[in-house]
Chains A and B, each alone.
Chain A
Amino acid sequence: DAGITQSPRHKVTETGTPVTLRCHQTENHRYMYWYRQDPGHGLRLIHYSYGVKDTDKGEVSDGYSVSRSKTEDFLLTLESATSSQTSVYFCAIRIGQGAQEQYFGPGTRLTVT
């Protein structure tokens, strides 16, 4: 299995505070992704990265920024958390020949009060 960890696994924060979630992989995969999962919406892509310092927006990127200064780390930042950003956040890496084969991390449950 691809080594992928997310930290923290659970976080409760207040509206207006900045929050950074970390995704760490151990196998030097080029593509990394951040998704959020909410009831009734399935998984939605927030941002993705196709290499160090190379990132692009997904379908629900407003209110989020990302950074990738090293191959192994992909950070997701909520600059000023809102209650609508309460969700489960999953990081994924592309492990196959195509974009459809991705390996997901364990998730971070974020609650914004």
Chain B
Amino acid sequence: LAKTTQPISMDSYEGQEVNITCSHNNIATNDYITWYQQFPSQGPRFIIQGYKTKVTNEVASLFIPADRKSSTLSLPRVSLSDTAVYYCLVGRMDSSYKLIFGSGTRLLVRP
């Protein structure tokens, strides 16, 4: 599986846009990029998934450049409730179980 590298932590303020970048230099052709969010004392929550270019849903956008060696999770106008740990995962869709969660990025949103 492609290894991912993310910043350990980020700070932001309410109302700002937050971009969290994940590096995955050895991503394979069949790999997809998935982001999860985890609040304290809760299980991780699936946010968004993509293969290339841009994906947008009601929660976030995912930007993937042409070489796919990195990806950026964009959270528009964050609020205090977006304070959480964000995980970037890379893997094949047909993998039976291989979700590998790294250390993630701890986002702190300040008033």
Interface residues of A, Cβ cutoff 8 Å to B: 31, 33, 42-45, 48, 50, 56, 58, 90, 92, 95-107
Contact partner of B103 among A42, A48, A95, A104, CB < 8 A? A42
Interface positions of B from 58 to 111, Cβ below 8 Å from A = 87, 89, 91-99, 101-104
Could you give, for residues 30-68 of chain B, a 1 whenever the CB lies within 8 Å of some chain A CB and a 0 otherwise?
A: 001010000001111110010000000000000000000
Q: How near does chain A come to B48, taking the closest CB pair, in angstroms?
A: 10
* B44 and A104 within 8 A (CB): yes
Interface residues of B, Cβ cutoff 8 Å to A: 32, 34, 41-46, 49, 87, 89, 91-99, 101-104
* B99 and A43 within 8 A (CB): yes
Q: Collect the chain B residues with CB atoms within 8 Å of residue A50's CB.
A: 96
Output the nearest chain A residue to B97 by Cβ-Cβ distance. A48
Q: Collect the chain A residues with CB atoms within 8 Å of residue B41's CB.
A: 107
Contact partner of B97 among A56, A90, A103, A105, CB < 8 A? A56
Given A42-B101, A42-B102, A42-B103, A99 and B96 touching (CB < 8 A)?
A: yes
Given A42-B102, A42-B104, A43-B99, A103 and B93 touching (CB < 8 A)?
A: no
Given A42-B102, A42-B103, A107-B41, A101 and B46 touching (CB < 8 A)?
A: yes
CA distance A107 to B98 in the complex (A): 20
* B34 and A104 within 8 A (CB): no
Q: Which of B43, B49, B95, B101 has the most CB of A within 10 A?
A: B43
Output the nearest chain A residue to B44 by Cβ-Cβ distance. A104
Given A98-B32, A105-B43, A45 and B97 touching (CB < 8 A)?
A: yes
